[in-house]
A = this chain, B = another copy of it.
Amino acid sequence: MSAPSAPESQPAQDPQPAQDPQPARRRGSGRPKGADSAARREEILATAAQVFSEDGFRATSMSTIARACGLSQTGLIHYFPTKDVLLDAVMARRDQIDQAVALAPADRELRGWDRLAANAALVRHNQGQPGIVRLFTTMAGEAVDRTHPANSWLVAHHRDAAAKFREAFAEADDDGHLAPDAPVEAMTRLLIAAMDGLQLQWLSDPEYGEMAPDYEVLLQTFRERWGR
Protein backbone atom coordinates (compact mmCIF):
# COMPACT_ATOMS: atom_id res chain seq x y z
CA MET A 1 0.00 0.00 0.00
CA SER A 2 0.91 3.58 -0.08
CA ALA A 3 1.01 5.35 3.24
CA PRO A 4 -2.41 6.62 4.29
CA SER A 5 -2.92 10.31 4.52
CA ALA A 6 -2.50 11.89 7.94
CA PRO A 7 -2.56 15.39 9.40
CA GLU A 8 1.20 15.55 9.74
CA SER A 9 3.37 14.36 6.96
CA GLN A 10 6.35 12.22 7.85
CA PRO A 11 9.61 14.09 8.21
CA ALA A 12 11.38 13.98 4.90
CA GLN A 13 14.12 11.44 5.30
CA ASP A 14 17.48 11.89 3.78
CA PRO A 15 18.18 8.24 3.32
CA GLN A 16 21.89 8.74 2.74
CA PRO A 17 24.23 11.41 4.09
CA ALA A 18 24.97 13.86 1.33
CA GLN A 19 28.19 13.04 -0.41
CA ASP A 20 30.27 15.00 -2.78
CA PRO A 21 32.05 12.38 -4.73
CA GLN A 22 33.14 14.72 -7.51
CA PRO A 23 32.21 12.66 -10.54
CA ALA A 24 34.28 15.00 -12.68
CA ARG A 25 33.71 13.29 -15.99
CA ARG A 26 29.93 13.88 -15.83
CA ARG A 27 29.92 17.36 -14.30
CA GLY A 28 28.29 20.18 -16.29
CA SER A 29 30.21 23.40 -16.71
CA GLY A 30 28.50 26.02 -14.57
CA ARG A 31 26.76 24.14 -11.76
CA PRO A 32 28.22 24.01 -8.27
CA LYS A 33 29.60 20.65 -7.21
CA GLY A 34 27.06 19.96 -4.43
CA ALA A 35 24.03 20.57 -6.65
CA ASP A 36 25.54 18.42 -9.36
CA SER A 37 26.12 15.56 -6.99
CA ALA A 38 22.59 15.81 -5.56
CA ALA A 39 21.08 15.84 -9.04
CA ARG A 40 23.12 12.82 -10.04
CA ARG A 41 22.04 10.98 -6.87
CA GLU A 42 18.43 11.76 -7.71
CA GLU A 43 18.88 10.45 -11.27
CA ILE A 44 20.37 7.22 -9.95
CA LEU A 45 17.50 6.76 -7.50
CA ALA A 46 14.89 7.31 -10.22
CA THR A 47 16.61 4.86 -12.56
CA ALA A 48 17.16 2.25 -9.86
CA ALA A 49 13.51 2.57 -8.79
CA GLN A 50 12.43 1.77 -12.31
CA VAL A 51 14.79 -1.18 -12.67
CA PHE A 52 13.79 -2.63 -9.27
CA SER A 53 10.10 -2.20 -10.02
CA GLU A 54 10.47 -4.01 -13.33
CA ASP A 55 12.98 -6.73 -12.54
CA GLY A 56 12.90 -6.96 -8.73
CA PHE A 57 15.75 -6.44 -6.32
CA ARG A 58 17.16 -9.95 -6.14
CA ALA A 59 17.41 -10.38 -9.90
CA THR A 60 19.08 -6.99 -10.45
CA SER A 61 22.83 -6.50 -10.22
CA MET A 62 24.69 -3.28 -9.46
CA SER A 63 26.26 -3.51 -12.91
CA THR A 64 22.79 -3.55 -14.51
CA ILE A 65 21.85 -0.42 -12.60
CA ALA A 66 25.16 1.26 -13.41
CA ARG A 67 24.59 0.53 -17.10
CA ALA A 68 21.04 1.89 -16.95
CA CYS A 69 22.43 5.07 -15.35
CA GLY A 70 25.20 5.46 -17.89
CA LEU A 71 27.79 5.03 -15.15
CA SER A 72 30.64 2.64 -14.54
CA GLN A 73 30.09 0.32 -11.62
CA THR A 74 32.78 2.24 -9.75
CA GLY A 75 30.90 5.44 -10.49
CA LEU A 76 27.71 3.98 -9.05
CA ILE A 77 29.46 2.65 -5.95
CA HIS A 78 30.78 6.16 -5.35
CA TYR A 79 27.17 7.21 -4.64
CA PHE A 80 25.77 3.97 -3.24
CA PRO A 81 28.38 1.60 -1.89
CA THR A 82 26.11 -1.48 -1.91
CA LYS A 83 22.88 -2.65 -3.47
CA ASP A 84 21.27 -2.77 0.00
CA VAL A 85 22.14 0.90 0.63
CA LEU A 86 20.73 1.79 -2.78
CA LEU A 87 17.53 -0.14 -2.05
CA ASP A 88 17.04 1.69 1.28
CA ALA A 89 17.42 5.03 -0.49
CA VAL A 90 15.07 4.02 -3.31
CA MET A 91 12.31 2.95 -0.93
CA ALA A 92 12.71 6.03 1.30
CA ARG A 93 12.44 8.23 -1.79
CA ARG A 94 9.35 6.28 -2.90
CA ASP A 95 7.64 6.88 0.42
CA GLN A 96 8.57 10.58 0.32
CA ILE A 97 7.05 11.04 -3.14
CA ASP A 98 3.98 9.13 -2.04
CA GLN A 99 3.55 11.29 1.07
CA ALA A 100 4.35 14.59 -0.57
CA VAL A 101 1.75 14.30 -3.30
CA ALA A 102 -0.90 12.51 -1.28
CA LEU A 103 -1.26 15.12 1.41
CA ALA A 104 -3.50 17.84 0.08
CA PRO A 105 -3.51 20.69 2.63
CA ALA A 106 -7.28 20.31 3.11
CA ASP A 107 -6.79 16.73 4.30
CA ARG A 108 -4.64 17.86 7.21
CA GLU A 109 -7.73 19.38 8.84
CA LEU A 110 -9.75 16.18 8.68
CA ARG A 111 -10.51 14.02 11.71
CA GLY A 112 -11.90 10.60 12.42
CA TRP A 113 -14.00 8.99 9.69
CA ASP A 114 -13.45 11.93 7.35
CA ARG A 115 -9.72 11.48 7.68
CA LEU A 116 -10.12 7.77 6.94
CA ALA A 117 -12.28 8.59 3.93
CA ALA A 118 -9.50 10.77 2.52
CA ASN A 119 -7.54 7.58 1.86
CA ALA A 120 -9.78 6.92 -1.11
CA ALA A 121 -8.23 10.05 -2.65
CA LEU A 122 -4.81 8.54 -2.07
CA VAL A 123 -5.89 5.39 -3.86
CA ARG A 124 -7.22 7.52 -6.71
CA HIS A 125 -3.94 9.39 -6.80
CA ASN A 126 -2.00 6.12 -6.96
CA GLN A 127 -3.90 5.18 -10.12
CA GLY A 128 -1.98 8.00 -11.77
CA GLN A 129 1.43 6.72 -10.76
CA PRO A 130 1.65 3.04 -11.64
CA GLY A 131 5.45 3.09 -11.34
CA ILE A 132 5.29 4.00 -7.65
CA VAL A 133 2.60 1.39 -7.05
CA ARG A 134 4.52 -1.27 -8.91
CA LEU A 135 7.73 -0.56 -7.02
CA PHE A 136 5.81 -1.06 -3.78
CA THR A 137 4.13 -4.29 -4.90
CA THR A 138 7.24 -5.84 -6.41
CA MET A 139 9.41 -5.03 -3.40
CA ALA A 140 6.73 -6.10 -0.92
CA GLY A 141 6.48 -9.51 -2.61
CA GLU A 142 10.21 -10.07 -2.11
CA ALA A 143 10.32 -8.46 1.33
CA VAL A 144 7.99 -10.97 3.00
CA ASP A 145 11.22 -12.91 3.36
CA ARG A 146 12.38 -11.78 6.80
CA THR A 147 16.02 -11.89 5.73
CA HIS A 148 15.41 -9.63 2.71
CA PRO A 149 17.04 -6.19 2.95
CA ALA A 150 13.65 -4.52 2.36
CA ASN A 151 11.85 -6.49 5.08
CA SER A 152 12.40 -3.82 7.73
CA TRP A 153 11.18 -1.15 5.30
CA LEU A 154 8.00 -3.14 4.60
CA VAL A 155 7.24 -3.82 8.26
CA ALA A 156 7.90 -0.17 9.19
CA HIS A 157 5.78 1.03 6.27
CA HIS A 158 2.83 -1.09 7.40
CA ARG A 159 3.24 -0.20 11.07
CA ASP A 160 3.42 3.49 10.26
CA ALA A 161 0.27 3.20 8.16
CA ALA A 162 -1.44 1.26 10.95
CA ALA A 163 -0.53 3.95 13.49
CA LYS A 164 -2.22 6.60 11.32
CA PHE A 165 -5.38 4.57 10.81
CA ARG A 166 -5.51 3.82 14.54
CA GLU A 167 -5.14 7.54 15.30
CA ALA A 168 -8.08 8.36 13.03
CA PHE A 169 -10.22 5.69 14.71
CA ALA A 170 -9.24 7.16 18.10
CA GLU A 171 -10.41 10.59 16.91
CA ALA A 172 -13.72 9.10 15.78
CA ASP A 173 -14.02 7.51 19.20
CA ASP A 174 -13.17 10.76 21.02
CA ASP A 175 -15.83 12.55 18.98
CA GLY A 176 -18.44 9.92 19.85
CA HIS A 177 -18.57 8.59 16.28
CA LEU A 178 -17.34 5.03 16.85
CA ALA A 179 -19.32 2.08 18.19
CA PRO A 180 -17.80 0.93 21.49
CA ASP A 181 -17.37 -2.60 20.15
CA ALA A 182 -15.85 -1.53 16.83
CA PRO A 183 -13.01 -3.90 15.81
CA VAL A 184 -10.42 -1.16 15.37
CA GLU A 185 -7.33 -3.35 15.07
CA ALA A 186 -8.92 -5.65 12.52
CA MET A 187 -10.27 -2.72 10.48
CA THR A 188 -6.82 -1.11 10.55
CA ARG A 189 -5.15 -4.22 9.15
CA LEU A 190 -7.97 -4.73 6.63
CA LEU A 191 -7.73 -1.16 5.32
CA ILE A 192 -4.02 -1.68 4.71
CA ALA A 193 -4.54 -5.16 3.27
CA ALA A 194 -7.25 -4.00 0.87
CA MET A 195 -5.07 -1.19 -0.47
CA ASP A 196 -2.15 -3.59 -1.06
CA GLY A 197 -4.38 -6.29 -2.49
CA LEU A 198 -6.35 -4.05 -4.85
CA GLN A 199 -3.02 -2.82 -6.23
CA LEU A 200 -2.05 -6.41 -6.99
CA GLN A 201 -5.23 -6.93 -9.03
CA TRP A 202 -4.99 -3.53 -10.66
CA LEU A 203 -1.38 -3.94 -11.80
CA SER A 204 -1.76 -7.47 -13.07
CA ASP A 205 -5.18 -7.41 -14.71
CA PRO A 206 -5.67 -5.02 -17.64
CA GLU A 207 -9.46 -5.36 -17.31
CA TYR A 208 -9.54 -3.88 -13.80
CA GLY A 209 -10.15 -0.18 -14.28
CA GLU A 210 -10.36 1.77 -11.02
CA MET A 211 -9.34 0.86 -7.49
CA ALA A 212 -10.69 3.97 -5.76
CA PRO A 213 -14.43 3.19 -5.99
CA ASP A 214 -13.79 -0.25 -4.48
CA TYR A 215 -11.78 1.25 -1.65
CA GLU A 216 -14.58 3.73 -1.03
CA VAL A 217 -17.01 0.84 -0.64
CA LEU A 218 -14.81 -0.60 2.10
CA LEU A 219 -14.46 2.72 3.93
CA GLN A 220 -18.16 3.46 3.63
CA THR A 221 -19.22 -0.02 4.74
CA PHE A 222 -17.00 0.20 7.83
CA ARG A 223 -18.41 3.64 8.61
CA GLU A 224 -22.03 2.60 8.15
CA ARG A 225 -21.61 -0.53 10.25
CA TRP A 226 -19.25 0.77 12.98
CA GLY A 227 -19.75 4.54 12.98
CA ARG A 228 -22.12 6.43 15.28
| A binding-site residues for B, Cβ under 8 Å | 1, 54-56, 58-59, 134, 137-146, 151, 154-155, 158-159, 183, 186-187, 189-190, 192-198, 200-201, 203-206, 208, 213-214, 217-218, 221-222, 224-226
Q: How many copies altogether?
A: 2
Most buried by B among A55, A137, A200, A213: A200
CA distance A204 to B200 in the complex (A): 17
CA distance A59 to B61 in the complex (A): 10
CB closest chain-B residue, reference A141: B141
CA distance A173 to B184 in the complex (A): 29
- Residues in B with CB closer than 8 Å to A197 are 1, 190, 192-197, 200
Tell whether, in the assembled complex, residue A214 and residue B190 are in contact, meaning their CB atoms are under 8 Å apart: yes
Expressed in whole angstroms, the minimum distance between the Cβ of A156 and any Cβ of chain B is: 10
CB closest chain-B residue, reference A59: B58
Add 13 more A-B contacts to A137-B144, A193-B196 (CB < 8 A).
Answer: A56-B58, A138-B144, A141-B200, A159-B205, A186-B218, A187-B217, A189-B214, A190-B218, A192-B201, A193-B193, A193-B198, A195-B197, A221-B221
CB closest chain-B residue, reference A185: B214
Q: Please, could you name 15 A-B residue pairs with CB atoms under 8 Å apart, sorted by A?
A: A55-B58, A56-B141, A56-B142, A134-B144, A137-B144, A141-B142, A155-B205, A158-B204, A186-B213, A190-B214, A190-B218, A193-B198, A194-B194, A197-B197, A221-B222
- Residues in B with CB closer than 8 Å to A183 are 217
Which 7 A-B residue pairings sit nearest by Cβ, starting from the closest? A141-B141, A193-B197, A58-B59, A197-B197, A144-B203, A196-B197, A186-B217
- Residues in B with CB closer than 8 Å to A208 are 189
Expressed in whole angstroms, the minimum distance between the Cβ of A111 and any Cβ of chain B is: 22
Expressed in whole angstroms, the minimum distance between the Cβ of A75 and any Cβ of chain B is: 25
- Residues in B with CB closer than 8 Å to A203 are 144
- Residues in B with CB closer than 8 Å to A198 are 189-190, 193
Residue from B146, B195, B226 within 8 A of A206 (CB atoms): B146
- Residues in B with CB closer than 8 Å to A206 are 146
